Structure 1
Amino acid sequence: MSKRSTLVLGTRGSKLAVRQSEWVQSRLRDIAPAVTVEIRRIQTSGDKILDVPLAKIGGKGLFVKEIEDALLSGEIDLAVHSMKDVPTELPAGLELLCVPEREDPRDALISRDGRKFKDLPLGARVGTSSLRRQAQLLQARPDLSITMLRGNLDTRLKKLRDGQYDAIILAAAGLRRLTWGHEITEYLDPSICLPAIGQGALGIEGRANDQFVRSLLAALEHERTRTAVRAERALLHRLQGGCQVPIAAHARLEDHKVMLEGVVASVDGKEVIRDRVEGRTEDPIAAGVTLAERLLARGGDRILQTIYGTAP
C-alpha cells in the first residue's frame, strides 16, 4: 500500500459541493493528521449548461464525468459526489470507496409566503428542474404550474424571493448541510414525493486499486446507508434510468430487512406506478431488481419506452 503525504480531492464548485467536500476533508484530517487533503474545484458539463432542463441535455453523469476523468488520469485522488448524481455504472478502474451516513433523504418545499403544499394557491408556480418531482407533484396537485428551476441552491432561493415562483422544491439534505434548514416550509411526505435514488447520501469515489485512500475512508463508511443505496441503485440500473427520468425509490432498513418503495411515472403525472417490496439486507440488489421488475410489469415499461422514445 503506497502511502502519501498529500491527497487531492475533486469536487464541483457549487457552495454545497464544496461544503460536502470540506466535511470529508475535515474528517480525514482527524483520521490522518499527517496527510494533507487539498480541494480542487472542477467544472462539469451539468454546471456549464444552466438554461436548459437537465432532461433535455441527455446523457448520464452530467455532474461527474469531468471529475471521473481527473481520477482516471491521476490528477485527483478522490472525489465527493451527491450520490443521486452518480450513474449506476462507473468507469472501469473506479469504485465508490466510501458511503458515509445519509442525511435526510426527503424533498423540501420552500414557499414565498409560508404556505404548505396543500395550501398553495390554485395554479401556483412551483420551481423544480426534476421530472421526478414534476410528475409526482402534478399527480397530487394537477392544477400547479411546474416551471424549470436551475442553478445552485442560493441562486434558486434568490429566484423564489424575487417573486419568480410561489414555491420551489429542493433536497432537504443540501439545505441542512448548508445550515439553511430554517428556510424549509415543509418536508414533503414520501407518499406525495418519493425521493431520488441515493438522495441525501454522499458517494466518495476513487481508483479501485488505491488501497491507501480506501483505508483512510474506512472510518467514514456507514454500512446501513450503503445497503439502502445499493437497493435503490439496483432498481435504477434495472430500469436503465438516469437521474432525470421520473423514477424514484427509497429504502429503509428494519431489523434484517430492506423496505424498498419505488415509483415510475409519466412526465405529466397522469400515470404514477408505485409499489414496494421487502428484501434481505444481505442482498439489497435482489430487492432492487425485484421491485423494478414489478414496476415494469405493471406498466412502467410502457411509460419508460414513451419517455425514451422507444415505444413501438
Structure 2
Amino acid sequence: MHPSLKNTPLVIATRESRLALWQAEHVQALLRQRGLSVELLGMTTKGDQILDRTLSKVGGKGLFVKELEVALEEGRAHIAVHSLKDVPMELPAGFALACVMEREDPRDAFVSPHYASLAQLPQGAVVGTSSLRRQVLLHALRPDLKIVPLRGNLDTRLRKLDEGQYDAIVLAAAGLKRLKMDERIRSIFAPEEMLPAAGQGALGIEIRSDREDLRLALQSLVDMPTWLRVTAERAVSRGMGGSCSVPLAAYATLEGDTLFIRAAWGDPDGQLPLVRAEQRAVVTTLAQADAVGLAIAQALQAAGAQVHRH
C-alpha cells in the first residue's frame, strides 16, 4: 500500500442525502475492514438544491457530481462515491472512475399506497417520475396514464406520494433496498417491461486520474462483471449523446463471457414509436464492452432513434 495512505485518513466526498450517505458509509466500512482510516466530507450539490425544475432543464446529471469533483481537485477529499446512474458519461479531464462495485438490484420499483401494480392503476391515474426514460417506457405500457414530474431525494418523493399528490411513483429498487425500505415496493418491473437506466443500481468511485495509489487501494472493491455490464450500458448512452435529457434505457447481463445488452429509446414528445436494439457478444475487457455499447447506439440510430445534441 502507498505510504501516503497509511498515515493520513482517506476522505470520501459525499452528498448529504440519506441514500448518498448510506453509499459513502458502505464504502467507508469496506475500506476500514481493509485497514484504512476513512472519513466523510458531506456536501450539498446543485442537484440537491434545485428542486423546482426537471434535471434535463437545469444541466443534467453532472449537477450531483460537480461539487464533489471540486473537493477532489482541491485536495479536500480523495475519493467520491456515486450512484453510476448520476455520473456523466464523459468525466472531466483529470478525473477517472477507479472502481465499480457489485451491483444491487438494477430494476425499477412500482410504489403506491393503494395499488399493487401498474396494471391495477385506474384509467388516467397520476404517476410521478422525473426520468424521461421512465416517462417514455410508462407511456408505452399505459398510454392513458398522466405522468407528472417528481423531484427530490427518496424521502421527499415518498412524502409527496403519501400526501396524495400521485397515485403511484416509480423509483429505483436499489435505493429502497439499501435504505431498508423494501416494504414500500409493491411490485418490481421486469426488465422486459421497463428496461433500466445505464448503470442503475451500481456504485462507482471517482478519483483524480493522477492518483494511481488510490486506484490500487480500491482494486479489492472492484466487481468486474458489474463493471463490464455498466461500461456497455454507459457506452450506449454516450453514443446517443448521453445526459438525462435523453429518454434512453440500456441494460446488460453477463453469463460467463457472453454479454447480452438491450436498449430502448423513446421520443420525449410521444410522436415516434419506441425504438429497441439488442446484441449478444463475447466480452472480457472494458474496451470490448464499450465497443458493444457503441454498436447498440448505432443500431438504435439506424432504427430511427435521435441523437441528443447539446
Question: Secondary structure of 1:274's partner?
Answer: strand
2:281 to 256, 271, 279: 279
Residue 84 of structure 1: CA displacement?
A: 0.6
Tell me what 2:220 maps to.
219
Does 2:21 align with 1:14?
no
- 1:164 & 1:61 partners in 2: Cα distance? 28
Whether contact under 8 Å (1:280, 1:287) holds in the other structure is no
Residue 148 of structure 1: CA displacement?
A: 0.9
Between 1:213-222 and 1:178-187, the stretch displaced more is 213-222
Between 1:77-86 and 1:259-268, the stretch displaced more is 259-268
- 2:256 & 2:22 partners in 1: Cα distance? 33
Amino acid at match of 1:30: Q
Tell me what 2:51 maps to.
50
Whether contact under 8 Å (1:196, 1:243) holds in the other structure is no
- 1:207 & 1:2 partners in 2: Cα distance? 18
- 2:129 & 2:299 partners in 1: Cα distance? 28
Question: TM-score, length-normalised on structure 1?
Answer: 0.94
Amino acid at match of 1:9: I
Please list the CA deviations of residues 153-180 of structure 1 after superposition, one character each: whole Å capped at 9, or x if unmatched.
Answer: 0111111111111000000000000011
Residue 59 of structure 1: CA displacement?
A: 4.4
Please list the CA deviations of residues 261-286 of structure 1 after superposition, one character each: whole Å capped at 9, or x if unmatched.
Answer: 00111114452101101122121111
- 1:6 & 1:255 partners in 2: Cα distance? 38
Cα 1:244–1:15 shift into 2, 3 Å:
farther
Tell me what 1:121 maps to.
122
Please list the CA deviations of residues 20-42 of structure 1 after superposition, one character each: whole Å capped at 9, or x if unmatched.
Answer: 1000000111011xx32111112
Give the share of equivalent positions with the same residue, in percent: 48
Tell me what 2:300 maps to.
295
- 1:245 & 1:46 partners in 2: Cα distance? 17
Residue 115 of structure 1: CA displacement?
A: 2.5
- 2:253 & 2:116 partners in 1: Cα distance? 29
Please list the CA deviations of residues 211-256 of structure 1 after superposition, one character each: whole Å capped at 9, or x if unmatched.
Answer: 3322221111000000001101111111112034201100000121
Residue 131 of structure 1: CA displacement?
A: 0.7
Residue 207 of structure 1: CA displacement?
A: 1.6
- 2:34 & 2:161 partners in 1: Cα distance? 40
Whether contact under 8 Å (2:55, 2:61) holds in the other structure is no
Amino acid at match of 1:80: V
Tell me what 2:234 maps to.
233
Whether contact under 8 Å (1:138, 1:268) holds in the other structure is no
Tell me what 1:209 maps to.
210
Question: Secondary structure of 2:301's partner?
Answer: helix
Tell me what 2:28 maps to.
25
Tell me what 2:97 maps to.
96
Whether contact under 8 Å (1:129, 1:148) holds in the other structure is yes
- 2:257 & 2:68 partners in 1: Cα distance? 36
Does 2:83 align with 1:82?
yes
Residue 2 of structure 1: CA displacement?
A: 4.2
Does 2:197 align with 1:192?
no
Question: TM-score, length-normalised on structure 2?
Answer: 0.94
Question: Secondary structure of 2:174's partner?
Answer: helix
- 2:297 & 2:177 partners in 1: Cα distance? 31
**Cα RMSD, aligned residues only:** 1.4
- 2:89 & 2:56 partners in 1: Cα distance? 17
Whether contact under 8 Å (1:80, 1:203) holds in the other structure is yes
Tell me what 2:106 maps to.
105
Unaligned 5+ residue runs, structure 2? none
Question: Secondary structure of 1:229's partner?
Answer: helix
- 1:2 & 1:293 partners in 2: Cα distance? 46
